[in-house]
Amino acid sequence: MEKRQIPYLDPRGRKVKILATVGPASRDPEMLLKLIRAGADAFRVNMSHGEHATHAETIAAIRAIEKDLNRPIAIFCDLQGPKLRVGKFKDGKAVIRHSGHFTLDRNPEPGDETRVELPHPELFGLMEKGQRLLINDGKIQLKVIRADENEILCSAVVGGVISDRKGVNVPDAEIPIPALTAKDRKDLAFAVEQNADWIGLSFVQRPEDLAEARKLMGGHGALCAKIEKPMAVRRLDEIIEMSDGIMVARGDLGVELNPEEVPPLQKKIVNKTRIAGKPVIVATQMLESMIESPAPTRAEVSDVANAVYDGADAVMLSAETAAGEWPEEAVTIMDRISAQVERDEAYLDRVRFLDTPPDRTTADALAHSCMTIADTVPIAAITVFTGSGSTARRVARERPSVPMLVLTPRLQTARRLALLWGAHAVMTRDIGSFEEMIAKGKRMALRHRFGVAGSKLIALAGVPFGTPGSTNLLHIVTLAGDELEKYSQ
């Protein structure tokens, strides 16, 4: 049987990336291909749902499409984390009266309207009078009256229906539990075995939470800390330093904080991560109404646009593509919003409003120079030669006006950069000389449509070639007409 050929995809024409969650609505190979064509740059595999066998099939399908398209695609395996939940009820549910009393205890018997088991012994003795417990995404709000080693007696500030295994949020205390559960360790081992490019660590509270995950990853993949606990915000700088990227996970963050606190905090997290030169993803409910509707609300469009204006590296779709009725349309609209924002003449001023002064290193100085040269001279693209991806991250940190063509000999690096702002990564053999660098940069720029005859390119690399951390060379080249004819064939 003759292998089906899929034409190579052109560069996106936008710099922000789209991370789409895979689920029942999108794991079919044909739908995955549609999502990529619509604009998806990376796929999130949510380890909270589904079996390993199903996830393995999904990952294999993505890798097969990646090979056919000759385009690196990032796979982001998102760990469930230590989600706290109540126990079960006699009738499957109960009603907590407004202003009434309700007890969380260690009794495994089914609960009723007065009590239920809380199967998390680490919380007993930790809770203090006046602290809050939020149940079912904050729909039920309890305030602690007293707590001991066996019971937490609460007053219902907001009552309502509570049912089996609903989630519990504790916004006012740092919970002494590890960020990795037994399930997470199994899921992490699976993700490493599947060569996942990114691992998302949920409910991070402290920088120490990242250490165990990093150790278990054994150098495979990049580690993304999901900021969804107020406690994490208090040590944000340390968490950013210990991670490879950050996700602003607004779901649980929006439960544990007052709604009006989330937008300025989102901007703070994006800014601090950008200054550190690491990818930052804005996630959760970005086009929530498109789970059921073929069109988003105006407020959702503005939400996506604001994240793009803030200079986020990527924006994420969750249930919209995982379980929604309009997965392809959701990606298409997110792509259109992002592209429209980037066409705004005020866009560059907005993303550069954040001051990202270069570190006092040669590599950072050259990355900063790429931005200023592209603003001064008509440059078509910045061609970056990198092994680890660090040079590309330095250039992206400056938010240059032109795209980056990133050439790397490592497939792992090319895939990981699918979530980096402005980067179009291509895997190619390493270079060994200055002449080879110039020739390859021209050839790849023409082949991947980053220039035409007469276009100027910036080439950024390190000498000696193949030496990590040696970025020390910046060169401007012009594409000639005969090269266009030669390399485009």
Q: Running DSSP on this structure, what letter comes out for residue 408?
A: E
CA distances from 376 to 103, 345, 350, 372 (A): 67, 16, 19, 6
Residue among 488, 396, 485, 401 nearest 449 (CA): 488
Rounded to whole angstroms, the Cα distance separating 416 from 264 reads 28
Locate tokens 């126990």: which residue?
87
- Amino acid occupying residue 172: D
Q: What is the pLDDT of residue 430?
A: 84
- Amino acid occupying residue 349: D
Q: What is the pLDDT of residue 113?
A: 96
Cis amide linkage into residue 464, ω under 30° from 0: yes
Give the mean pLDDT per block of 10 residues along the chain (489 residues): 39 93 98 97 96 98 96 97 94 96 97 96 92 94 96 97 94 87 97 98 94 95 96 95 97 90 97 97 97 98 98 98 98 98 96 90 94 95 94 96 95 97 93 89 91 93 77 91 56
**DSSP secondary structure string for all residues of 48-114:** TSS-HHHHHHHHHHHHHHHHHHT---EEEEE-----EE---BTTSEEEEPTT-EEEEES--S-B-SS
What size, in residues, is the chain?
489
Q: What is the pLDDT of residue 244?
A: 98
Rounded to whole angstroms, the Cα distance separating 426 from 417 reads 10
**DSSP secondary structure string for all residues of 314-378:** EEEESHHHHT-S-HHHHHHHHHHHHHHHHHSTTHHHHHTSS--PPPSSHHHHHHHHHHHHHHHS-
For residue 474, what is the enclosing H or E element?
strand 471-478
Q: What is the pLDDT of residue 489?
A: 47
Residue 146's region, left for phi above 0, alpha for psi from -120 to 50, else beta, is: beta
Rounded to whole angstroms, the Cα distance separating 448 from 11 reads 7
Beta strands in 202-357 (DSSP E): 222-227, 245-249, 280-283, 314-317
Name all domains of the chain by residue range, CATH numbers in brackets: 17-81+178-347 (3.20.20.60), 84-169 (2.40.33.10), 362-487 (3.40.1380.20)
Contact 132, 172 (CB under 8 A): yes
Q: What is the pLDDT of residue 481?
A: 65
pTM for the full predicted model: 0.91
CB within 8 Å of 144: residues ≥ 6 apart = 127, 128, 129, 130, 131, 132, 133, 152, 153, 154
Which residues are tagged catalytic?
Answer: 44, 85, 226, 284
How would you classify the pairing of strands 151-158 and 101-105?
antiparallel
